Amino acid sequence: MLSTLFSPVFSGTFTISSYLICTAASLVLGAIIAFSSGFRSRQSKSFLLALFLLPAIVQTVIMLVNGSVGTAVAVMGAFSLVRFRSAPGSAKEIVSIFLAMAAGLATAVGYVALAAVFVIIICAVLIGANFVNIKEKDDLYRELRITIPESLNYAHEFDDLFEKYTKDSKLLNVKTTNMGSLYKLIYKIRLNKEDDIQDFINDLRCRNGNLEISVMIPASGENTL
């Protein structure tokens, strides 16, 4: 029974009915992929629309080039003329795009039931991952900005505080401000515990004369592919 269920819906012959069945399946699977990708995450409307349509587009292209070397070469040439320029996507976005392409490939060769099972399993894992809160080491990295008077020797002034509250610290930038009467320091730090931020800032305020201090999550592309 399982072998019958996961057999292709058509046997190599392209017909309108087989195309419509595969396209309908691709659109349904695209909707499932778009829903799982946007579940508890901020995704743009254009990206979700692309995930919805991508399986049907890939399926149509594969069905057109199936068995035709000349058409395959023409399609490859057409795609080579397209240059994609966009911001790097996150790891989850890349997975969603590859999932949509895999679904389109599966429906293109007629394995509609197999594509449905595959998409449902992967999407269930993606949705389930949103409920798992795993604390990563990268979450403790912060960018520390301190303003100090010019009379303060910043080279080793904060060493004891960094040793107490951080696992690692590195001075990235030094800049003068206010006609040279103040220094602005930028550090990259890795905290011991996130709960220590307030105590860390209070101790720093005692050293820098209660001047401006800010602690922020650094902008990085470590979660992108």
User: Domains, the chain, ranges and CATH?
Assistant: 7-129 (no CATH), 137-216 (3.30.70.240)
SS3 139: helix
Burial of 144 (0-12, 13-18, 19+ CB in 10 A): buried
pLDDT in tens, 170-180: 999 999 988 88
Q: Is the pLDDT score of 68 beyond 90? A: no
Q: Which of 37-51, 78-92, 204-218 has the lowest mean pLDDT?
A: 78-92
Across the beta sheet with 213-216, the strand order is 166-177, 182-191, 141-149, 213-216
SS3 18: helix
Asked whether 188 and 139 are in contact (CB, 8 A), the reply is no
Among residues 47, 43, 39, which one has the least CA distance to residue 123? Answer: 39
Residue 89 CA: distances (Å) to CA of 51, 117, 118, 126, 139: 13, 26, 23, 16, 19
Stretch (H or E) spanning 120: helix 112-129
pLDDT > 70: percent of the chain: 77
Q: Is the pLDDT score of 140 beyond 90? A: no
Residue 85 pLDDT level (bands cut at 50, 70, 90): very low
pLDDT in tens, 8-44: 666 656 678 888 888 999 999 999 999 999 888 888 8
Name the one residue in this structure whose structure tokens are 């659109």: 27
The token duo for 147 is 């303003």
The token duo for 57 is 């587009």
The token duo for 167 is 């696992």
All residues at 6 or more sequence positions from 148 whose CB lies less than 8 Å from its CB, including other chains:
154, 157, 182, 183, 185, 207, 208, 209, 211
Instruction: Give bridge partners of residue 146 from the DSSP assignment.
Output: 185, 213
Report yes or no on whether pTM surpasses 0.75: no
